[in-house]
Structure 1
Amino acid sequence: MKFNARVTPSPSLSRRSWIVPVISTFFGILIRMWHDDHPPPHIHVEYQGFEALVEIETGEIKVGKLPRKVARIVREWCFEHRGELRENYSVPSDQ
């Protein structure tokens, strides 16, 4: 399953953040991913003013902060979608 990406500009985020495609939203959580971004493979997560970089393989927050419950939900989501996330991370954006 490929995620449908859409670009959503947000004035509250850095210029780099708003061009990162949204691949999923649930419970008010936005998941963004830029293919072939810097290692390790990761997603960008936003939730009610919180932002974090979350590693795909472990589901752990590497940079930033999320509320504990949201971090747990995102970690579980990463585990459930790990294969798809790995695949999307390595696919060029023009495909």
Structure 2
Amino acid sequence: MSGQRAGNKIMVVDTRHDSQIKDLVDVYEVIEYNETMNMDLVGLNMVMYAQIFSLYQSIKLNKSPDNPWPSGLVNRVVQGVIIYPYHNGGAK
């Protein structure tokens, strides 16, 4: 699927079953929500799922969760991003 995989696996956490995506990835998890769920909060739930999964995978591989790949293969720091000051000129 990606030239950057370097032997790594791709995992998708989705809100619905999608066989096309499932066929393209190594791990496919679906978290189903009912109609009363505030979908604005689903993203936060997905992040928590990914964080907990990563923690357990690090422990399973005998890696330190704080720095699982000292080589830099997996890096917690976003690089090459410029954060510009926010100026809200239209605020009242």
TM interval, short-chain normalised = under 0.3
TM-score (norm 1): 0.26
TM-score (norm 2): 0.27
Structure with the larger RCO, 1 or 2 (CA within 8 Å, 6+ apart): 1
Comparing both structures, which one devotes a greater share of its residues to strand? 1
